[in-house]
Amino acid sequence: MDSDSTFPADPMPVLRRVFGFDDFRPGQREVVDAVMAGGDVMAIMPTGGGKSLCYQLPALCTDGLTVVISPLIALMRDQVRALHEAGVCAGALTSGNTDEETDAVWEAIEGARLKLLYVAPERLASGGTERLLRRANCTRIAVDEAHCVAQWGHDFRPDYLRIGDLRRALGVPLAAFTATADAETRDEIAARLFDGDPQVFLYGFDRPNLALAFAAKDGPRRQVLSFAAARRGQAGIVYCGTRAKTETLARALADDGHSAAHYHGGMEAEDRRAVEGRFQREDGLIVVATIAFGMGVDKPDIRWVMHADLPKSIEAYYQEIGRAGRDGAPADTLTLFGADDIRFRRQQIDEGLAPSERKSADHGRLNTLLGLAEAQGCRRQVLLRYFGEGDARPCGNCDLCAKPPELFDGTTAVRKALSAMLRTDERFGTGHLIDVLLGVETDKVRRFGHDRLPTFGCGSDMPKAQWQAVFRQMMGLDLVRPDPERHGALRMMPAARPILRDEATITLRKDAMARAERRPAVKTLVSEEDAPLLSALKAKRRALAEAQGAPAYIVFNDRTLIEMAERRPATLDQMAGITGVGAAKLEKYGAAFLSVITGEVPDPVHPARRKLAGRSQGDVYDRLLAAQTDLIRGSDGTEKPLSCSSSLLAKVAGARPDRGDVDRVLGPRYADRFGAAFTAILQEAAEA
């Protein structure tokens, strides 16, 4: 999209024409207006909530260049490619550029055509970057994944700290965007990027299309395979806590007939890029990865995310499940967890190099995640409450809403467990404590004389699996913690004392103790009737994408294809009304997808008419064309044939509905024959 001499004050026409959207998502309009007004903006919006549009659209509606600072090359390249597909002049300067790509960026800068330039934060270390941006008429800076500026954020990038200096040097407004930032992180972002107080937009963290579920580990490999089997052919991510586990699980999935690959930071860079490329191109690939595979994932049609191990914090969990369903279509999540996960995460925090106050905060974040894992009611309410949205209603789209857990008074069981811990001097882990409670005379129990304790055998009324669940829930509720200085021995936390002293009671989940494995039901993307057409549309998308060497979603994402399958447009005008079909994509792909839907190759349409597809002027154009056919030899059919060009008819379709304006557009030669009829059509359209 070339730079225009004038820019629209209203972004709606550009939203429709370029991006193919009839309206904004919640919160987008307010942020777009604030960015276009030229102020400093910080926006916290949910993953998949359309953050990128909030700086891309203002860039197209205002003069100058917007520079976008983004953390990963793959992410930048995908966004630039998607913008090119939409007809936008955008570019990136990265170490991954070919000479031709870099030359094209410089040519666009010299021609004042470039609207968006993506750069990595590391490029800010170069003294030439500031000179480049001045030369390119940079009028705004946008910062993606702004939480990377936070020193103790989960994705800290030191080079982000240079952004504030760049903004001050250029004297331009800055807009910062992130999906996960608690109050502490927001304050740090504001302090590092802005001199004053930016206009802050904090929008809901809710992702209602994501189904949330947790399950206690019970044969984790089998649980992963079962979950994947129920979603065979759908793109998914399995997050693991160790590199070795990514490799073994990927092999297990491949052996089970899935297309799967592993990904972790220990791989060669070329091998990692190969997996990233496959995931972007292939429809149904499963990537089994550590958190090294994360921030650069911009694939909108990931249908599920599974955690084979507990994430490290509530923010990390939210960020990672947020990879799924970015197109707004239904997506599933499942997180497996167990006592070993809790022990491992506590140990990571305690053995880290962070100061004590940060360790305390990290334990608090982990506690919130564990509270989510052991929740007794709607999980979405627990998650949103953490992010400051306390008035959320039960979602009806999590495992606990679908099947409320059975609860029981766990006060006596917890007191027995705490008593066993204290009587063994808080020197032992879960396994030994359960042996004491069950009255199992192991060599270790006898060696320490624990078979003579009053608590020996006091818990024999519950089986071992139930005691394991009790201890896991006690850890999840932060009643007890593993002590790294005592090799993981459990020690009592202050929250447990009121229960031990009979000053408080506690409720635990019974169903979490021994739930039978079940394969979850999968939400279908479309009805059974529309499923064959959706498959055919995906096949066409894949063929077009492979021909370009591009990811499939660059053509159209799943949500757009779903709408095509359900609405079955029969004309280009109807196709233009599908969400995500902008003018450039309609021209490039419209006929190909119409032929799949209708079974026929559509008749050729003049480019001037095609540009009006989906707009009111398109219908007016057709009526003008029909009127011209009637008058081609004049009103009495005896005059010399005369007809307007398609481009002239398109201009008339956009004229004001009065005779003077119509005559001016037509010129004297055509106005005499067509002016009155065309004016009547425009007046009827204006009154309709």
Q: How confident is the model at residue 359 (pLDDT cuts 50, 70, 90)?
A: confident
Predicted confidence at residue 517, as pLDDT, reads 43
pTM of the model: 0.72
Question: What are residue 119's phi and psi, to 5 degrees?
Answer: -140, 155
Spell out the SS3 assignment of 206-218: CCCCEEECEEECC
307's tokens:
């955690």
For the chain, give the longest Cα–Cα distance: 119
Angle at 639 between CA 638 and CA 640, to 5 degrees: 130
Location of structure tokens 């494995």: 517
pLDDT at 316 over 90: no
CA 615, CA 618: separation in Å to the nearest integer? Answer: 5
**Short-list 201, 198, 122, 107, CA closest to 166:** 122
Q: Is the pLDDT of residue 186 over 60?
A: yes
Contact 184, 304 (CB under 8 A): no
pLDDT at 153 (0 to 100): 55
Give the pLDDT of residue 154: 54
Tokens of 294: 């994360």
Q: Tell me the CA distances in angstroms from 27 to 45, 201, 202, 387, 557, one per residue in order.
A: 8, 8, 9, 17, 22
Structure tokens at 15: 């939203």
Tens digits of residue pLDDT in 444-487? 999 999 999 999 999 999 999 889 889 988 988 889 988 777 77
Name residue 483's beta-bridge partners: 489
Q: Is 137 within 8 Å of 65 (Cβ atoms)?
A: yes
* Position with higher pLDDT, 56 vs 675: 56
145 within 8 A of 175, measured Cβ to Cβ: no
What is the average per-residue pLDDT within 298-310? 90
Spatial distance between the Cα atoms of 341 and 649, rounded to a whole number of angstroms: 68
Name the residue with tokens 């119509």.
662
Read off the tokens for 450. Answer: 């624990």
Distance separating alpha carbons of residues 583 and 100, to the nearest angstrom: 27
pLDDT at position 540 is 92
Cα(58)–Cα(365) distance, rounded to whole angstroms?
36
Query: Model confidence at 3, in pLDDT bands (50, 70, 90)?
Result: very low
Asked whether 163 and 193 are in contact (CB, 8 A), the reply is yes
The Cα–Cα gap between 448 and 424 comes to 9
Average pLDDT for the chain: 86
Q: Is the Cβ–Cβ distance between 42 and 27 less than 8 Å?
A: no
Asked if the model's pLDDT at residue 267 lies above 80, the reply is: yes
- Which of 558, 582, 562, 560 minimizes the C-alpha distance to 572? 582
Report the distance separating Cα 498 and Cα 551, nearest Å.
57
Q: Which helix (H) or strand (E) holds 220?
A: helix 220-229
> How distant is the alpha carbon of residue 523 from its chain centre?
19
DSSP classification of residue 360: H
In 3D space, the residue among 247, 284, 249 whose CA is nearest the CA of residue 264 turns out to be: 247
Residue 652's pLDDT is 87
Count CA atoms closer than 13 A to 161's CA, side-chain side. 8
Report the candidate in 214, 159, 152 with the shortest Cα–Cα distance to residue 186.
152
- Structure tokens belonging to residue 4: 């225009």
**Strand residues in 308-452 grouped as ranges (E):** 331-337, 407-409
Looking up tokens 């309609």 gives 586
What backbone phi and psi angles, to 5 degrees, belong to 407?
-105, 160
Burial 651-677 (b: 16+ CB within 10 A, else e): ebbebebebeebbebbeeebbebbbeb
d(CA 414, CA 410): 6
Residue with tokens 């100058």: 64
pLDDT of residue 7: 52
408 bridge partner residues: 508
Q: Give 627-651 pLDDT, tens digit per residue.
A: 898 888 888 888 888 988 888 998 8
Burial class (CB in 10 A: 0-12, 13-18, 19+), 309: buried
Q: What is the DSSP letter of 398?
A: B
The pLDDT score that the predictor gives to residue 453 is 93
Is pLDDT of 401 > 90? yes
Cα distances (Å, whole numbers) of residue 587 to 17, 79, 382: 11, 20, 46
Q: 185-194, 407-416, 420-429: which range is least confident on average?
A: 185-194
Q: How far apart are CA 381 and CA 2, in angstroms?
A: 46
pLDDT tens by residue, 562-614: 999 999 998 888 898 898 998 889 889 999 999 999 988 777 777 777 777 76
Residue pair 246/289 in contact (Cβ under 8 Å)? The answer is: yes
Are residues 124 and 158 in contact, defined by beta-carbon separation less than 8 angstroms? no
